[in-house]
């Protein structure tokens, strides 16, 4: 009895680059139904005959004309492809035709990084609160996403499993990339930013020094008050002031208090992440009454 053996072998050119890190080898992936391969894959046909020996292998790609096989088959376009193939021996016996179906995936996943919680963007830098979480997402329309990798500061890359929360205040950098099931990797996305959960520092500064009389502060109606706020990281978004218990309003420029009597100025500030300072206050008297002068005479 004549015996035939014909097979298709997938070979891959391995790919690596300094731009990408773990899991960069190209590979074949089967989802239980069909093979997925990268664009670097090549397909080798082989056959053997145990009697008169093999004369040639014939094949057709995607319904094209039948061609004598001479070397590895490659695809230059993504998507589903078909290879039909058969072998003929020296006496003219033809094997049963077989059809191999494959999906070629040459594109890396598409991904995005987003933030759950408070975030502020300033140019190339991102500012987060320590309660905010970095969420990574990726999808691949062909072989599907295998993994997302992330690296924080000087740590090694690790598989992304859940939203990232960075509790340590200050500067941080994060790098991430995604790999699909055949080894196509996205370029690295690098994000630089700061974690800021410290509210601004606020001060109410009079232009003239107060006069302290029996532990009470006095000043005149021409004294001018500036409210300053400083935030080292995210920056100050708004300064709010209240006069004698009134509703808070946005501070714009230095002001004067010209109504005589006792007064209290309160101030607070909010940074660009919503961190609010404690309220600071300054209480004083405005004295508009000049002193009364008298003259007395006496005789020795």
Confidence check: pLDDT of 300 > 80: no
Digit-coded pLDDT (tens) for 114-131: 889 999 998 878 999 999
CA separation for the pair 48, 53 (Å, rounded) = 7
Digit-coded pLDDT (tens) for 4-16: 444 555 555 433 3
Residue 223, token pair as written in the block: 């004294």
CA separation for the pair 72, 45 (Å, rounded) = 7
For tokens 């601004």, name the residue.
200
Instruction: Provide the CATH number for the domain formed by 4-104 in this structure.
Output: 2.60.40.10
pLDDT value at residue 6: 47
pTM comes to 0.77
For domain 201-286, the question of CATH label 2.60.40.10 is answered with yes
Confidence check: pLDDT of 286 > 60: yes
The mean pLDDT value of the chain amounts to 90
Q: Which CATH architecture has domain 110-195?
A: Sandwich (2.60)
pLDDT value at residue 294: 87
Residue 262, token pair as written in the block: 């006792």
Identical topology for domains 110-195 and 201-286: yes
Nearest alpha-carbon partner for 188 in 119, 136, 144: 136
Domain locations along the chain: 4-104, 110-195, 201-286
pLDDT value at residue 18: 34
pLDDT band of residue 22 (cuts 50, 70, 90) is low
């Amino acid at each position: 009895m004549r015996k035939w053996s014909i097979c298709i072998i997938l070979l891959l050119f391995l790919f690596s680059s300094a731009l990408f890190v773990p899991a960069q080898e190209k590979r074949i992936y089967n989802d239980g139904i069909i093979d997925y391969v990268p664009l670097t894959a090549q397909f080798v046909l082989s056959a053997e005959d145990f009697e008169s020996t093999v004369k040639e292998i014939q094949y057709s790609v995607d319904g094209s004309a039948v061609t004598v096989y001479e070397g590895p088959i490659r695809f230059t376009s993504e998507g589903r492809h078909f290879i039909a193939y058969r072998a003929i021996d020296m006496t003219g016996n033809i094997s049963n035709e077989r059809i191999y179906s494959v999906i070629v995936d040459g594109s890396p996943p598409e991904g995005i990084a987003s933030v759950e919680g408070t975030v502020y963007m300033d140019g190339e830098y991102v500012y987060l609160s320590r309660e905010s979480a970095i969420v990574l997402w990726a999808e691949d329309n062909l072989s599907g996403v295998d993994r997302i990798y992330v690296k924080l500061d000087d740590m090694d890359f690790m598989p992304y499993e859940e939203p990232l929360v960075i509790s340590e205040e200050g500067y941080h950098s994060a790098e991430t990339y995604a790999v699909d099931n055949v080894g196509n990797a996205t370029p690295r996305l690098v994000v630089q930013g700061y974690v800021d959960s410290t509210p601004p520092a606020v001060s109410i500064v009079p232009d003239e020094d107060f006069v302290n009389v029996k532990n009470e502060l006095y000043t005149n109606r021409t004294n001018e008050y500036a409210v300053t706020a400083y935030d080292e990281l995210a920056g100050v978004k708004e300064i709010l002031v209240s006069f004698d218990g009134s509703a808070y309003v946005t501070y714009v420029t230095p002001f004067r208090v010209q109504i005589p009597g006792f007064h209290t100025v309160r101030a607070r500030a909010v940074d660009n992440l919503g961190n609010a300072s404690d309220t600071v206050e300054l209480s004083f008297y405005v004295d508009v009454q000049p002193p009364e002068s008298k003259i007395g005479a006496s005789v020795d």
